[in-house]
């Protein structure tokens, strides 16, 4: 059993605790879901359960955490590896070796598992996770879903009693996420492994949990079965009915961007095979599709980050392949998947000035533009803040601000809802809707059916190298099929 007794923890340099007087117990074989807004202390609690906090982070720690009777302050986190395994959000940051077989044995070797037993477990779990076909593949070449499966398989091979998973599906498409979560349920039932899962996408995972812990501001505000906590989740703004914010009527006007017959291959593997796309003023177009279907590759063609091997893209009468991305950045803004790629200056204000200076905007306009951008994105209070000190949702909005400050006519966003909690997603949705009403055209990639159902004017699915029109109603159906409201 893991027992948390009156735990209070403050990160060094912070002025208030992230967890306060928190007590709970997690028993073997439970499937526990921990939910709450960004910054409520979920990840901190997870790290306290196996001693990463305080031993890895320092800070002020009071109360105690006992794992099978052992105090986490008196034992190194690595010594808990045989009891508690951990799977993190980004598979890229948790796989250490270069091939799958070696990755699977890395943890067992560290624990000193005898070679004969290691071999037995490798066979057992590789078969169970269907990893054999990847055995000698290089890990960097695997897809996100495959990597996350390797991470889970490698942790499970260490035979832990509990596995903590910190947003493990945030980078997976709906199908892979569902498979991953079903797999967790199977592990829980067949092997009796305790699952402690932190997730934002409640519609994905609520149905699997025996017990849900709801956190707010460093404390547990509800702890019970999913039926018991749903009202609390609704009150907290973590769950809600699908409310469509836009009308999906067709919009008239000249096309701003036209892509015709786009073809693109990576290493002779065709990814885009004749994609056509037209964007008009004041549209919010969502592109969906499985992991690896070529969505990111497609949107990079639109502002010239990648050049189509066949076909053409025309932006406001200019052939995109004949100009540089930077030279059309004023017309078409692009935000990649990782907001951190946009953040390096000392303050948010300087980040925005960096963009304005590169785009050659008259310095007299800077202040007005910065004020407008920060107010649209609800960041006015953070103008002088170091961007890397911000929460996940705020970072996302800051990265968006660095693009928005150029006031492009078209905004292209690659998975902007990734890793955001329900509240931050709603906030982002409202911002995008506001921008769209002001005349901006938005194209975004997302796996989030609910976000599409609530905010998109049009939805397209990329499949087999081509874009296919899909109805918003279909998205509403898929979103509500997953939603807890219909399920619980």
Partner 1 sequence: MFFPYKDTASRIHLLDARPKIVFVLAAFIFSILLSDILYLSALFVLVLAISISAHTLKSTWSLLRYALYVAIFVVIFNVLLSSGRHVLFVIGPIAITSESILFSISMCLRLFLAVSAFALLTFAIHPDEALRTMSRVGYKTTTALSLSTRMYPTIANDSRNIMDSMRARGVEFDQGGFLKKVKARANVVMPLLFNSLDRSVAIAEAMETRGFGAGKRTNYSESRLNRRQKMMIASFVLSIVFGISLFVLGYGNADYLNGAGFHYGVDDFLVLAAYVILLSPILAGGGK
Residues 107-126 that bind partner 1 (CB under 8 A): 107-115, 118-119, 122
Residues contacting residue 164 through CB under 8 Å, at least 6 positions apart: 46, 49, 50, 84, 85, 86, 87, 196, 197, 198
Cβ proximity to partner 1: between 248 and 343 the closer is: 343
Asked if 392 touches partner 1 (CB under 8 A), the answer is no
Q: Which of 244, 185, 253, 152 is nearest to 31 (CA)?
A: 185
Cβ proximity to partner 1: between 254 and 267 the closer is: 267
| Distance of closest approach, residue 151 Cβ to partner 1, in angstroms | 8
| Distance of closest approach, residue 46 Cβ to partner 1, in angstroms | 10
| Distance of closest approach, residue 335 Cβ to partner 1, in angstroms | 7
CA triple 6-9-12, angle to 5 deg = 165
Q: How far apart are the first and last CA of the chain?
A: 28
Q: What are phi and psi of 5, to 5 degrees?
A: -120, 110
| Distance of closest approach, residue 383 Cβ to partner 1, in angstroms | 18
10, 44, 72, 94: residue in contact with partner 1 (rule CB under 8 A): 94
Question: d(Cα 360, Cα 67) in Å, to the nearest integer?
Answer: 58
State how far Cα 130 lies from the chain centre: 25
Considering only residues 333 through 362, tell me which ones interact with partner 1, judged by CB under 8 A: 333-338, 340-344, 354-355, 358-360
Residues contacting residue 116 through CB under 8 Å, at least 6 positions apart: none
Considering only residues 142 through 171, tell me which ones interact with partner 1, judged by CB under 8 A: 154-155, 158
Cβ proximity to partner 1: between 207 and 350 the closer is: 350
Asked if 139 touches partner 1 (CB under 8 A), the answer is yes
Question: d(Cα 327, Cα 358) in Å, to the nearest integer?
Answer: 10
Cβ proximity to partner 1: between 336 and 465 the closer is: 336
Counting residues that bind partner 1 (by CB under 8 A) gives 77
Instruction: Write down the H helix ranges in 285-421.
Output: 295-302, 348-358, 363-376, 392-404
1, 63, 64, 79: residue in contact with partner 1 (rule CB under 8 A): 79
String of contacts with partner 1 for each residue 395-434, x by CB under 8 A: ----x--xx--x----------------------------
- CA torsion, points 300, 305, 311, 314, in degrees to nearest 10? 90
Question: d(Cα 158, Cα 294) in Å, to the nearest integer?
Answer: 35
Edge-first strand order for the sheet with 310-315 is 269-280, 255-266, 310-315, 318-319
| Distance of closest approach, residue 216 Cβ to partner 1, in angstroms | 25
Question: d(Cα 280, Cα 303) in Å, to the nearest integer?
Answer: 16
Residue 118 region by backbone torsions, left for phi larger than 0, else alpha for psi between -120 and 50, else beta? alpha
String of contacts with partner 1 for each residue 277-316, x by CB under 8 A: -----------------------x--x-x-----------
String of contacts with partner 1 for each residue 48-77, x by CB under 8 A: --x-x---x-------------------xx
Asked if 209 touches partner 1 (CB under 8 A), the answer is no
- Residue 109 burial by CB count (10 A; 0-12/13-18/19+): exposed, middle or buried? exposed
48, 95, 214, 238: residue in contact with partner 1 (rule CB under 8 A): 95
Cβ proximity to partner 1: between 103 and 454 the closer is: 103
Question: d(Cα 182, Cα 425) in Å, to the nearest integer?
Answer: 25
Look-up of token digits 């874009």: 467
Cβ proximity to partner 1: between 291 and 485 the closer is: 291
Considering only residues 229 through 268, tell me which ones interact with partner 1, judged by CB under 8 A: none
Cβ proximity to partner 1: between 9 and 422 the closer is: 9
Question: d(Cα 140, Cα 481) in Å, to the nearest integer?
Answer: 34
Considering only residues 316 through 335, tell me which ones interact with partner 1, judged by CB under 8 A: 324-327, 329-330, 333-335
25, 92, 228, 481: residue in contact with partner 1 (rule CB under 8 A): 92
């Amino acid at each position: 059993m893991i027992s948390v007794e009156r735990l209070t923890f403050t990160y060094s340099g912070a002025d208030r605790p992230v967890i306060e007087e928190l007590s709970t117990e997690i028993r073997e074989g439970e499937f526990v879901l921990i939910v709450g807004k960004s910054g409520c202390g979920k990840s901190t609690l997870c790290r306290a359960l196996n001693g990463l906090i305080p031993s890895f982070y320092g800070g002020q720690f009071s109360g105690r955490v006992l794992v099978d009777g052992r105090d986490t302050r008196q034992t190194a986190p690595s010594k808990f590896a045989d009891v508690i395994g951990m799977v993190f959000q980004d598979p890229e940051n948790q796989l250490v070796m270069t091939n799958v077989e070696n990755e699977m044995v890395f943890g067992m070797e560290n624990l000193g598992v005898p070679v004969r037993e290691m071999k037995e477990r490798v066979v057992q779990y590789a078969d169970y996770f269907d990893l054999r076909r990847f055995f000698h593949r290089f890990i960097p070449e695997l897809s996100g879903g495959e990597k996350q499966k390797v991470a889970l398989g490698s942790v499970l091979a260490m035979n832990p009693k509990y596995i903590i998973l910190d947003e493990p599906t945030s980078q997976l498409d709906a199908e892979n996420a569902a498979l991953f979560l079903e797999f967790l349920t199977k592990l829980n039932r067949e092997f009796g492994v305790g699952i402690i899962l932190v997730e934002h996408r409640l519609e994905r995972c609520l149905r699997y949990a025996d017990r849900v812990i709801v956190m707010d501001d460093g404390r547990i505000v509800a702890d019970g079965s999913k039926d018991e906590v749903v009202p609390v989740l609704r009150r907290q703004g973590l769950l809600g009915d699908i409310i469509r914010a836009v009308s999906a009527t067709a919009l008239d006007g000249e096309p701003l961007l036209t892509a015709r017959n786009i073809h693109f291959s990576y290493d002779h593997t065709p990814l885009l095979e004749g994609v056509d796309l037209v964007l008009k003023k004041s549209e919010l177009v969502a592109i969906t599709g499985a992991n690896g279907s070529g969505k990111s590759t497609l949107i990079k063609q639109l502002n010239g980050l990648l050049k189509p091997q066949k076909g053409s893209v025309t932006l406001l009468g200019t052939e995109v392949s004949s100009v540089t991305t930077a030279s059309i950045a004023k017309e078409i803004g692009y935000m990649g998947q990782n907001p951190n790629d946009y953040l390096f200056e000392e303050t948010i204000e300087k980040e925005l000035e960096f963009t304005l200076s590169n785009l050659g905007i008259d310095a007299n306009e800077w202040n007005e533009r910065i004020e407008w951008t920060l107010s649209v994105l609800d960041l006015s209070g953070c103008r002088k803040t170091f961007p890397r000190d911000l929460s996940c949702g705020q970072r996302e909005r800051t990265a968006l601000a660095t693009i928005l400050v150029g006031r492009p006519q078209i905004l292209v966003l690659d998975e902007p809802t990734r890793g955001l909690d329900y509240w931050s997603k709603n906030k982002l949705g409202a911002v995008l809707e506001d921008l769209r009403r002001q005349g901006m055209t938005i194209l975004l990639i997302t796996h989030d059916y609910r976000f599409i159902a609530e905010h998109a004017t049009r939805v397209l699915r990329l499949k087999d190298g081509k874009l296919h029109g899909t109805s918003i109603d279909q998205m509403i159906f898929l979103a509500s099929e997953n939603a807890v409201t219909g399920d619980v």
